[in-house]
């Protein structure tokens, strides 16, 4: 029998029993919509993380303290800090593949000024920090190298700090106090939003690293060094150049391990997205159970249909239909039921994803590939669970089938 004829027969059979067909498709509808919704949330989270990683800066590299070992036991990352301003200066002066280098001196402080006070992360950085992080100034300007050399008490604040201390005001030119040291606000950074880890990037105060070191921190070692390569293709070579220069600066012998860690933007993205992909697969696998349940429902209904249509099957065989024709007919009915349920499930999942995105503010992303895979999987469910009833129908004895009441 031709596929078009089989499909028309299947649709007529489904139309004759609308309620039963709808209940049969319900499991597939729920399964496909659940899979689509879960994957959409996962893909949206992956895309959002990628944007947040790109938002960290251009061709970014983060140089952090290494780990130390005591009595054969590792004390963890960051436990051995030998990073100094001299290291940052050496990289800035000697590296050929780095477009910018900035030390980062952290000094969490209570920021007092404007309409109250606010706890924020104060960072001592160089003017190159703005280029490395690709962070434009919305109001005012960023401090320059002369401010660093003169140890001027100037600061650039993030949007969150500006909102808390100077709501609906222009804070440029105003004063704030950090640990009782007065600083003049020279600029306000544009909004960056949260990092992949959920930290508010705008909740910060930037000042010349020389001023922060002498006025607020007073320690020899620094928290980290940020650097950027000229291009994305230069990142691997730039990482190796940093390793060579820092090992030389720290006087490490060839057999000694690095006492620092260099991580690139790509590594940060891979780590964050690997966790997201794992969670997406887990959610999709859980949702796929609904598809299996829907397939079992199709098998049960098709078995019932074979019983109800035994006499019809006998008549078809009596007028010349072969077992293969009967098997194809019932198999096509199962596949059509699955695909119809899959199509409705796609619509329900797309609408649900849109509603979920608006209500929760989450990023959701439905790709054509996801829709195609969901429909193919629904069709496969129809073939897999429809094969047994179809085979049972094809093996009926025509004489016995005709006698069936």
Q: How confident is the model at residue 73 (pLDDT cuts 50, 70, 90)?
A: very low
**Cα–Cα distance for residue pair 90/125, rounded to 1 Å:** 16
Angle at 53 between CA 199 and CA 156, to 5 degrees: 55
Global pTM exceeds 0.75: no
Q: 92 in helix, strand or coil?
A: helix
Q: With the CA atoms of 366, 367, 372 and 378 taken in that order, what torsion angle do they form, in degrees rounded to the nearest 10?
A: -20
Please give the pLDDT value at position 234.
87
Q: Per-residue pLDDT for 70 more than 50?
A: no
For residue 117, how far is the Cα from the chain centroid?
Answer: 34
HSE-CB at 267 with a 13 A cutoff on CA atoms is 11
Please give the pLDDT value at position 74.
44
Tell me the percentage of the chain whose pLDDT exceeds 70: 75
Q: 395 in helix, strand or coil?
A: coil
List of residues 6+ apart from 285 with CB closer than 8 A: none
List of residues 6+ apart from 38 with CB closer than 8 A: 280, 283, 284, 286, 287
Higher pLDDT, 305 or 70: 305
What confidence tens digit (pLDDT) does each residue in 324-355 have?
666 777 777 778 888 888 888 888 888 888 88
**Cα–Cα distance for residue pair 393/165, rounded to 1 Å:** 77
The pair phi, psi for residue 65, each rounded to 5°, is -60, 155
Locate 334 and state its tokens. 């199962």
Question: 226 - beta bridge partners?
Answer: 62, 102
**Cα–Cα distance for residue pair 284/373, rounded to 1 Å:** 12
Locate 292 and state its tokens. 């299996």
242-251 burial, b if ≥16 CB within 10 A, otherwise e? beebbbebbe
Q: 201 in helix, strand or coil?
A: coil
What confidence tens digit (pLDDT) does each residue in 129-174 have?
998 988 999 999 999 999 999 999 999 999 999 999 999 899 999 9
Please give the pLDDT value at position 78.
46
Higher pLDDT, 26 or 127: 127
**Cα–Cα distance for residue pair 17/68, rounded to 1 Å:** 72
Q: 138 in helix, strand or coil?
A: strand
Locate 31 and state its tokens. 């399964």
Q: How confident is the model at residue 267 (pLDDT cuts 50, 70, 90)?
A: low
Contact 205, 129 (CB under 8 A): no
Higher pLDDT, 352 or 42: 352
**Which residue is it, tokens 């104060």?**
122
Longest dimension (CA), the chain: 105
Lowest mean pLDDT among 59-63, 90-94, 298-302, 365-369: 298-302
Locate 266 and state its tokens. 């790509």
Q: Nearest-CA neighbor of 98 among 234, 219, 210?
A: 234
Contact 204, 120 (CB under 8 A): yes
Q: Per-residue pLDDT for 252 more than 70?
A: yes
Domain boundaries, the chain: 3-52+275-403, 83-258
The pair phi, psi for residue 307, each rounded to 5°, is -65, -45
């Amino acid at each position: 029998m031709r596929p078009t004829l089989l499909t028309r027969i299947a649709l007529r059979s489904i139309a004759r029993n609308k309620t039963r067909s709808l209940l049969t498709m319900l499991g597939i509808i729920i399964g496909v919509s659940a899979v689509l919704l879960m994957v959409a949330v996962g893909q949206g989270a992956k895309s959002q993380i990628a944007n947040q990683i790109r938002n960290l800066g251009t061709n970014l590299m983060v140089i952090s303290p290494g780990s130390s070992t005591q009595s054969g036991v590792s004390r963890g990352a960051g436990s051995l800090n030998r990073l100094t301003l001299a290291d940052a200066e050496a990289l800035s002066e000697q590296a050929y593949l780095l477009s910018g280098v900035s030390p980062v001196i952290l000094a969490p402080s209570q920021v007092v000024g404007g309409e109250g006070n606010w706890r924020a992360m104060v960072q001592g950085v160089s003017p190159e920090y703005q280029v490395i992080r690709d962070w434009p100034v919305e109001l005012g300007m960023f401090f320059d190298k002369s401010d660093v050399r003169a140890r001027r008490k100037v600061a650039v604040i993030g949007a969150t700090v500006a909102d808390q201390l100077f709501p609906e005001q222009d804070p440029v030119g105003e004063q704030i106090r950090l640990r009782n040291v007065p600083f003049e606000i020279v600029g306000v950074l544009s909004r960056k939003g949260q990092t992949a880890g959920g930290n508010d990037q705008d909740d910060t105060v930037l000042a010349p690293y020389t001023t922060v070191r002498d006025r607020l921190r007073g320690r020899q070692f620094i928290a980290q060094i940020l650097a950027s390569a000229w291009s994305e293709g230069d990142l691997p070579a730039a990482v190796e150049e940093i390793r060579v220069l820092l090992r030389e600066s720290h006087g490490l012998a060839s057999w000694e391990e690095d006492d620092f860690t260099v991580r690139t933007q790509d590594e940060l993205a891979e780590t964050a997205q690997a966790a997201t992909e794992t969670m997406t697969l887990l959610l999709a696998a859980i949702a796929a159970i609904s598809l299996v349940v829907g397939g079992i429902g199709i098998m049960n209904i098709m078995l019932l249909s074979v019983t109800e249509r035994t006499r019809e099957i006998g008549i078809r065989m009596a007028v010349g239909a072969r077992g293969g024709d009967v098997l194809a007919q019932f198999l096509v009915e199962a596949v059509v039921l699955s695909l119809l349920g899959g199509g409705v499930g796609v619509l329900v999942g797309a609408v649900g994803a849109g509603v979920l995105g608006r209500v929760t503010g989450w990023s959701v992303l439905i790709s054509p590939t996801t829709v195609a895979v969901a429909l193919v999987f629904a069709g496969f469910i129809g073939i897999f669970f429809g094969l047994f009833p179809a085979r049972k129908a094809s093996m009926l004895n025509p004489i016995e089938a005709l006698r069936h009441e």
